A and B are shown apart, each in its own frame.
Chain A
Amino acid sequence: MATEAHSTNSMSKDIIVYVVLLVLAAIQFFIAYQNITAAQMFERMLCVAVIEGGIALLFFMHLSENRGLRWFVIIFTVAVILGMQYGWSDAFRISGGVPWAH
Chain B
Amino acid sequence: MSHADTMHGHATAGAMAEPTFSVPAKKMAMWLFIIADSATFAGCLVAYGFLRNATPDWPRPFHEITNVAIMTFILLTSSLTMMIGVRSAQAGDKPKAFRWVMITAVLGLLFAVLHIREWMGMISEGATLFHNPWGTPAFGGAFYAVTGMHLLHVTGGVIALIVIAIRYQGGRYKADDLEVTGLYWHFVDLVWMFVVPLIYLLNLAH
By beta carbon, the residue of chain A nearest B68 is A29
Main secondary structure of the interface of A (DSSP, over half): helix
The residue among B23, B87, B193 with the most chain A CB atoms within 10 A of its own CB is B193
The residue among B23, B46, B83, B91 with the most chain A CB atoms within 10 A of its own CB is B83
Interface size on B, residues (CB 8 A): 45
By beta carbon, the residue of chain A nearest B194 is A49
Could you say which of A33, A46, A76, A87 contacts B46, with CB atoms under 8 Å apart? A87
Which residues from A are CB-within-8-Å of B56? 95
Which residues from A are CB-within-8-Å of B65? 29, 32
Q: Smallest Cβ distance from A71 to chain B, in angstroms?
A: 9
Main secondary structure of the interface of B (DSSP, over half): helix
Which residues from B are CB-within-8-Å of A61? 183, 186-187, 190
Q: Kindly state whether residue A88 has any CB partner on chain B within 8 Å.
A: yes
The residue among B34, B69, B87, B205 with the most chain A CB atoms within 10 A of its own CB is B205
Bound complex: CA A32 to CA B66 (Å): 12
Pairwise interchain contact A84-B91, C-beta atoms closer than 8 A: no
Which residues on A are within 8 Å of B, measured CB to CB?
3, 7, 10-11, 14-15, 18, 21-22, 25, 28-29, 31-33, 35-38, 41-42, 45-46, 48-49, 52-53, 56-57, 60-61, 66, 68-69, 72-73, 76-77, 80-81, 84-85, 87-88, 90-92, 94-95
Query: Would you give 9 A-B contacts (Cβ < 8 Å), ordered by A?
Result: A7-B91, A22-B73, A25-B196, A32-B204, A35-B206, A56-B186, A80-B38, A84-B39, A92-B53
